[in-house]
Amino acid sequence: MEFWYDPITTIFNSLLATFTGWGMSEIAATVLIYAITILLFVTFAMVLDIFLVWIERKVVARFQDRLGPNRLGPFGIFQPFADIVKLLIKEDITPVGADVIMFNLAPIFSMMSVLLLWAILPFAPKMVGVDLNVAMLYLVAAGSIGTLSVIMAGWASNNKYATMGAFRTVAQMISYEIPMVAAILVVVVLSGTMGAVGIVEAQEGIPFIFYAPLTALIFLISAIAELGRSPFDLNEAESEIVAGFHTEYTGMKFGLFYAGELLHSFTFGGFIALLFFGGHRFFGLENLGPIVGAIIFILKAIFFYWVIMWVKYTVPRIRVDHMLAFNWKFLTPLAFILLMVTALVGRLLMDSLWLVPALFLSNIFVGWMTVLYLKSHERKTREAEEAKSAPVVQH
């Protein structure tokens, strides 16, 4: 029963006793166990990534009234392995004049930026890589490595289309990090901690989606933009810039970018579950054991990954100027307004039974006022355009 309630510690102690029994020192055995754990963790992420490829193709097929992969294995589940073999045997091309070191490091950095985020994901109460007290700061810092990989890939390719695609993508990613950070700060204000485990524990009674539903929506939109998925998929605007920053990448190097995007989507699905939906908590079922909690967390992450796919395959791509204007003129101010409202209401009604309904109603009020402002702005813009296009009457 000890394994069921604390599997990580049980396995660690068992391996430590085994390795020290073979004559290894305790320090060497501990380092070896950590290395094995990291290897297994990365292997699990890569296997999950392969499974996500199959999920993505089946879901988009259903959206488009198709069957999707259905030949290799039951329900086509082995199709991703055939894709991996195809990518591995494709010719590895490096453009003439490219910066070889930066060109080859970019896809590795892209995947690494995602795997680093898994270190702070609390799958269950006793199943977390590192319980950092500044986990949300780590989230923003580690996620910025993905931005670095994009500019490295575009600049090192010695291709003007790749460079232009990288500039556009980096502008998009940096811009939408601002409302995302503001949304994270709302959660930090509500929980009183920047640690991922502490945020989950703060939602023991009521998930934060009931405190800040509009903030959750802002985080979802910012996450989709940060991922570069439709309607913000300007990194793959084939009709405009061929294929964006990874135009010159072939074989498994391109595969790493693609795999990183899918795994990043799942990871952000996990962070949405962590920040607003209680993480591994689900009506007390997590008390049955960490393994049950981990299953609950993964299912929540997959659900929000499906939501991100739903948006991607439903909403068309928007223009880059519209996308940036939407962020700087609308999303960022709204996120900071919600941050100030949350801090003010939370301070005034601290430890009060009215805190949750007051925060929920304040979000509804801010959203309603936003809709009224947008309607007024649209009406004024339309009237100005009509006045401008009206024929001039000469006497």
CA distance 108 to 177: 22
**pLDDT reported for residue 218:** 93
**pLDDT reported for residue 1:** 62
CB atoms within 10 A of CB 380: 10
**pLDDT reported for residue 179:** 92
245 backbone dihedrals φ, ψ, rounded to 5°: -65, -20
Parts of the chain with a pLDDT under 50: none
**pLDDT reported for residue 324:** 87
State how far the alpha carbon of 127 is from the alpha carbons of 6, 31, 48, 58, 98, in Å: 8, 19, 17, 30, 43
341-391 tens-digit pLDDT: 999 998 888 777 888 889 999 999 998 998 888 888 888 888 888 887 767
Yes or no: say if 149 and 107 are a contact pair by the CB < 8 Å rule.
yes
> Tokens in use for 268?
């952000």
**pLDDT reported for residue 235:** 66
Residue 193 CB burial class (10 angstroms; 0-12, 13-18, ≥19): middle
- Please state the domain extents for the chain: 7-89, 95-373
Q: Which residues contact 72 (CB under 8 A, 6 or more apart)?
A: 78, 79, 81, 82
CA distance 13 to 244: 49
Coil/strand/helix, residue 278: coil
**pLDDT reported for residue 236:** 66
**pLDDT reported for residue 228:** 79
- Looking at residue 393, the DSSP 8-state letter turns out to be P
CA distance 378 to 395: 33
Smallest CA-to-CA distance from 248 within 388, 99, 27, 129 is with 99
Tokens 């439709």, residue located: 230
Smallest CA-to-CA distance from 264 within 384, 114, 135, 367 is with 114
